Amino acid sequence: MLSVPGEQLLQRYLPRYQFAERHAALIAAPPAAVLDAVSCLERDADPLVRFFIRLRELPARCLGRKLDGQPAFGMHCFTRLERLGNVELAYGLAGEFWRAAYGLQPLADAAAFLALEQSTLPRLLLHFSTEPVGEQTRLHTETRVYCPGKVSLLKFAPYWYLIRPVSGLIRQRMLRSIRLALAASPD
């Protein structure tokens, strides 16, 4: 299990959780540039990630369900919760993720995410943190999911175990995309 250097936002936004996934990559760039690149992830949409998102959305499309007129699921669906300097960045998402059309609850800001602590709606935290390693930066990502009730936990668990391998691959591809984008950018 990877240890995460910056955990302040993890503890602030989702200290309790039942599901978690962690990944890390060493990137040849300073922490500020790395977190800035995280904020721009949508620009470098990975074809393999797009394929998996389309595959995940296939049941909704086959059932004729609308995806709220939104483009395919992506970083635009997350709400940016907070950035702590060049150390941490957190995004939130809330919904019934196992539903064909995701069952997402719109979140205006961090306060709206925190206000859901008393609801029965599952919440997901996508967290990034940096750790200087010589001239490079280790970028850590942790995804946490909290299901507040037995019903949501029983519905989410099978979904998690089904999508977790692909979710992990997507996180690894995100890290790779950031590393490649920064390697290609001029100083």
Task: Flag whether 93 is in a domain.
Answer: yes
Place of tokens 């060493």: 26
The pLDDT, as a whole number, for residue 54 is: 74
Task: Flag whether 1 is in a domain.
Answer: no
Domain count, the chain: 1
Task: Flag whether 3 is in a domain.
Answer: no
> The tokens of 93 are what?
């998402």
Task: Flag whether 2 is in a domain.
Answer: no
Measured from the Cβ of residue 71, the count of other Cβ atoms closer than 10 Å reads 11
> The tokens of 66 are what?
């609308």
CA distance 76 to 70: 10
Q: Shortest CA distance to 128 belongs to which of 11, 24, 29, 46? A: 24
CA distance 93 to 107: 7
For each successive 10 residues of the chain (187 residues), what is the average pLDDT?
A: 71 96 96 93 68 72 59 77 96 90 88 92 96 95 96 95 89 90 77
The pLDDT, as a whole number, for residue 136 is: 95
pTM recorded for the entire structure: 0.87
Residue pair 161/28 in contact (Cβ under 8 Å)? The answer is no
Range of the domain at 76: 8-184
Q: Shortest CA distance to 88 belongs to which of 158, 6, 21, 2? A: 6
Residue 107 belongs to domain with CATH number = 3.30.530
Measured from the Cβ of residue 78, the count of other Cβ atoms closer than 10 Å reads 18
